[in-house]
């Protein structure tokens, strides 16, 4: 899916609420500039929808899980290989909130090796249902 298509789908998904397709997205970006374009599109859509927006880098997570949020949209950027231990923990916590019907969204942004590493992680099978954006500018 390209960036414009994803932006439209994200806007619709934010309106539709929990479990909507683009509320879980993997964005494969080759550099910081393209990553920033994807994140900026998400910021605009999330802010327009009135959702709370959180942003973290994968390195900020470290090995300690963050306190769970009950609602809002999280952008997790700089998802690189090897994955920091906290990344799969955070993504699994997101899945738990989705199962509980909470209004949450997650955008994971990184280069191909990081996104592929996350998709191959044994506990991340549910990511097969995620929207997938490959953006090369």
At residue 134, the 3 state secondary structure works out as: strand
**Residue 52 confidence (pLDDT):** 92
What interhelical angle do 112-120 and 86-99 show, nearest 10? Answer: 60
Domain that holds residue 112: 3-15+23-134
What digits encode the pLDDT tens for the residues 55-69? 999 988 865 555 556
Q: Return the pLDDT at 117.
A: 95
Maximum separation of any 2 CA atoms in the chain, in Å: 36
Give the count of domains, the chain: 1
Single pTM value for the model:
0.93
pLDDT in tens, 75-96: 999 999 999 888 998 898 888 8
Q: Return the CATH number at 41.
A: 3.40.50.300
């Amino acid at each position: 899916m390209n960036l414009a298509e994803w932006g439209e789908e994200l806007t619709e998904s934010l309106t539709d609420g929990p479990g909507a397709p683009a509320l879980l997205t993997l964005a494969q970006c080759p550099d910081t500039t393209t990553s920033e374009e994807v994140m900026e599109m998400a910021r605009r859509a999330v802010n327009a929808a009135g959702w709370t927006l959180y942003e973290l880098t994968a390195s900020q997570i470290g090995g300690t899980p963050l306190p769970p949020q009950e609602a809002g949209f999280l952008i997790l950027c700089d998802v690189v290989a090897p994955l920091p231990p906290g990344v799969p923990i955070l993504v699994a916590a997101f899945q738990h909130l989705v199962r509980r019907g909470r209004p949450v969204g997650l955008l994971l942004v990184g280069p191909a090796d990081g996104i592929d590493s996350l998709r191959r992680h044994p506990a991340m099978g549910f990511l097969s249902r995620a929207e997938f954006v490959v953006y090369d500018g």
